[in-house]
């Protein structure tokens, strides 16, 4: 189980389907919100992060995980994982996240693996 968790969040090979993609993204956002404690000042609408050093490290790990999840999702519809770099671009990342989650995957085997949601052998 740990091996699959590490593959899902930290490796860039293989494929994941839409359901796993959405669950991984929502889980990652929930974990980051818990660790980073974002708050909004009602006067200025300024967002501040209150996680300290742990929060900064969590954000860095979250960025890597987001790219890994996106790359595997791209692989599922036979696109190069390098396109996941668009997730680093503010505003565009919102549209890319939605698009990655809506496109139907390649049925059966493709050049990135035999089936979605299974770590490569």
Q: What is the mean pLDDT of residues 62-90?
A: 95
Between 92-102 and 18-36, two packed helices, what is the crossing angle to 10 degrees?
Answer: 140
Residues 97-116: tens digit of each pLDDT: 999 999 999 998 999 988 88
**Alpha-helical regions (H) of the chain:** 2-10, 18-36, 52-76, 92-102
Residue 121: per-residue pLDDT: 75
- Per-residue confidence band for 69, with pLDDT thresholds at 50, 70 and 90: very high
Residue 58 has pLDDT above 80, yes or no: yes
Share of the chain above pLDDT 70, in %: 100
Residue 86 has pLDDT above 80, yes or no: yes
Nearest-angstrom CA–CA distance, 51 and 61: 14
Nearest-angstrom CA–CA distance, 18 and 25: 11
Share of the chain above pLDDT 90, in %: 69
Residues 11-50: tens digit of each pLDDT: 999 999 999 999 999 999 999 988 888 888 889 888 888 8
Mention every residue, 6+ apart, whose C-beta is less than 8 A from residue 49. Answer: 36, 37, 38, 55, 59
- Please indicate, yes or no, whether the overall pTM of this predicted structure exceeds 0.85: yes
Indicate the domain borders of the chain: 2-102
Nearest-angstrom CA–CA distance, 114 and 107: 9
pLDDT, mean over the chain:
92
Between 2-10 and 18-36, two packed helices, what is the crossing angle to 10 degrees?
Answer: 90
Closest residue by Cα to residue 16 from 86, 119, 99: 119
Residue 55 has pLDDT above 90, yes or no: no
């Amino acid at each position: 189980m740990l091996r699959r968790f590490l593959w899902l969040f930290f490796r860039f090979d293989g494929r994941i389907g839409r359901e796993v993609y959405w669950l991984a993204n929502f889980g990652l956002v929930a974990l980051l919100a818990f660790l980073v404690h974002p708050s909004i000042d009602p006067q200025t609408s300024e967002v501040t992060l209150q996680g300290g050093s742990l929060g900064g490290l969590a954000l860095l790990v979250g960025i890597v995980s987001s790219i890994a999840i996106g790359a595997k999702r791209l692989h599922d519809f036979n696109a190069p994982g390098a396109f996941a770099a668009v997730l680093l671009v503010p505003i565009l990342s919102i549209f890319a996240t939605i698009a990655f989650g809506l496109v139907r995957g390649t049925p059966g085997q493709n050049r990135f693996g035999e089936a979605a949601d299974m770590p490569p052998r």
